[in-house]
Amino acid sequence: MLTIKICDECKSEFYKPSSLMENLCPECASALYGYNNCQHEFVNHRCKKCYWNGNSSDYVDKIKSQK
């Protein structure tokens, strides 16, 4: 069974093994620190690979818009 964590930044649940950072989902870890992101595949509003639900914080949205 995969451990589910809650991202400190976007508050989405995510599978712990899907992120190299302890308290960030792969999406936020990628946007904030340049880690590889999950190649998301959404099924029923969640990525079946990392369990991210598509949430984003205003801060992450701002960073993404500047890239």
pLDDT of residue 54: 97
Question: Which SS3 state, helix, strand or coil, does residue 25 take?
Answer: coil
pLDDT at 19: 97
Q: What pLDDT sits at residue 30?
A: 97
Q: How far is 1 from 39, CA to CA, in rounded Å?
A: 21
pLDDT digits (tens, 9 = 90+) for 20-66: 999 999 999 999 999 999 999 999 999 999 999 999 999 999 999 99
Q: Where are the beta strands (DSSP E) in the chain?
A: 4-6, 13-15, 42-43, 46-47
pLDDT value, residue 2: 87
Question: Residue 4 — pLDDT band, cuts 50, 70, 90?
Answer: very high
Q: What is the pLDDT of residue 50?
A: 98
